[in-house]
Amino acid sequence: MARIVLSECCGLTPLRLRGRGGGVAIALPTLPHIAAGPRRAAPAAIHREWALRVSAPTRLTSAVEEDKRGTAHGGEEEAVSSLTSNGGAAEAGASDAFDPGAPPPFGLAEIRAAIPKHCWVKDPWRSMSYVLRDVVVVLGLAAAAARIDSWLVWPLYWAAQGTMFWALFVLGHDCGHGSFSNNPKLNSVVGHILHSSILVPYNGWRISHRTHHQNHGHVEKDESWHPLPQRLYNSLDNMTKKLRFTMPFPMLAFPLYLFARSPGKTGSHFNPSSNLFQPNEKKDVITSTASWLAMVGILAGLTFVMGPLQMLKLYAVPYVIFVMWLDFVTYLHHHGHEDKLPWYRGKEWSYLRGGLTTLDRDYGWINNIHHDIGTHVIHHLFPQIPHYHLIEATEAAKPVLGKYYKEPEKSDPLPFHLLGVLAQSLKSDNYVSDTGDVVYYQTDSKTNTSAQSSD
């Protein structure tokens, strides 16, 4: 829908970045995986310089730094590769049936080595070209819709502009990961501008997103769309369960999550004293909260000048569409595969095994518009790779990943097939066992009688 409106109404065609299952996304220092054991959390945030009262992203690690860290934890990459290969191969050969929860017969070093070196290169001019493209499209859509002011056009505008707000978020997400450029100040300034414009507290979100990447696939420690243990699930009242598992309510969760997180967790992305943040990150959170409040003030002023109805049509409805895109894409990166995917606890969890539970998705025409964020597996393992190299990096890594990579279903021009995947997953993926270090989603047969057979 967004592509149609962009080309037909504005004559603007987004830059093409080839491929399907696109992707982008955010994250953090990764440690080479040795065998199947757990890893210690990354060290405290590095020192950050300040400029224009905008903090530089913390704990962003280059591929070279990752390799150095890997050396400190167990020798050169070659040794890591050898250990992981030998340790996993024996288990893989123990059974003919593929077990997605088994330790893989490869390590992070082998995946990294398969990815061409130029895929790690960050081009700030290219990154800024995407920002310019998206900002021009957003302003052009708003100007065209306001000028035409027809109820035949407004629904098309809402779908297109909401999708473009989502595209802005993805670029800000790259800034948070440090994959936008090698300049922390540029990443921080651009990230604050883009995220504040769509009411996202840049640093507050960036830090919690870092937690998500560092703990992906961990039942208790993952940050977003992680499973509920059965005990916690059973403690929820019926209304909370309905809001969490019944469409369209889960697709409107993001603003609530910013203020109160998810069940079983506490803290606000706006409060510098929240347990989401370290003491040395308070300044960062204050900066992003102040930027968020400034945007609220700008919107209030525009509402006074233009009137509530016009602002509702120009900004509020597209914002809701953006929130739905964010929840929709984020959920499907970690749920809904035709085969159940494992979640981990304790000694069974590792950075590599957790990352391999993520999924690539194909969004058809939308891939290019939202910067190939559907190419998610390699992004989770190596968030430093710029979004415009993720497709090539994924293709290069597939021979190493083997069956641990789940090929995304090919989409039509618009990804309507994923609506059915989402609905089925919400119905069947309700909770995981309270015990066990490798667990899979189970279905609450009391409220989902039609899904009993899938449990």
Residue ranges per structural domain of the chain: 2-454
> Tens-of-pLDDT digits for all 455 residues of the chain?
554 444 444 444 444 444 444 443 434 333 333 333 344 344 333 333 333 334 333 343 443 443 443 333 333 333 333 333 333 433 434 446 899 999 999 999 999 999 999 999 999 999 999 999 999 999 999 999 999 999 999 999 999 999 999 999 999 999 999 999 999 999 999 999 999 999 999 999 999 999 999 999 999 999 988 899 999 999 999 998 998 999 999 999 999 999 988 777 889 999 999 999 999 999 999 999 999 999 999 999 999 999 999 999 999 999 999 999 999 999 999 999 988 899 999 999 999 999 999 999 999 999 999 999 999 999 999 999 999 999 999 999 999 999 999 999 999 999 999 999 999 999 999 999 999 999 999 999 886 544 444 44
34 within 8 A of 83, measured Cβ to Cβ: yes
Kindly tell me the sign of the dihedral angle through the C-alpha atoms of 443, 444, 450, 455. positive
The C-alpha atoms of residue 200 and residue 376 are separated, in whole angstroms, by 21
415: nearest Cα among 329, 338, 320: 329
Classify residue 449 by its DSSP letter.
G
pLDDT for 96 equals 66
Angle between helices 184-197 and 154-177 (to 10 degrees): 150
Angle between helices 184-197 and 124-148 (to 10 degrees): 20
The C-alpha atoms of residue 14 and residue 7 are separated, in whole angstroms, by 9
The C-alpha atoms of residue 116 and residue 389 are separated, in whole angstroms, by 10
Residue 230 Rama label (left phi>0; alpha psi -120 to 50; beta) = alpha
**Structure token pair of residue 305:** 């000048």
138: nearest Cα among 10, 304, 320, 298: 10
Q: What's the Cα-to-Cα distance from 194 to each of 138, 201, 325, rounded to whole Å?
A: 12, 10, 16
pLDDT for 262 equals 79
32 within 8 A of 70, measured Cβ to Cβ: yes
All residues at 6 or more sequence positions from 281 whose CB lies less than 8 Å from its CB, including other chains? 45, 58, 203, 207, 272
> Which stretches of 215-281 are DSSP H helices?
230-235, 238-245, 254-260
**Structure token pair of residue 246:** 């019944």
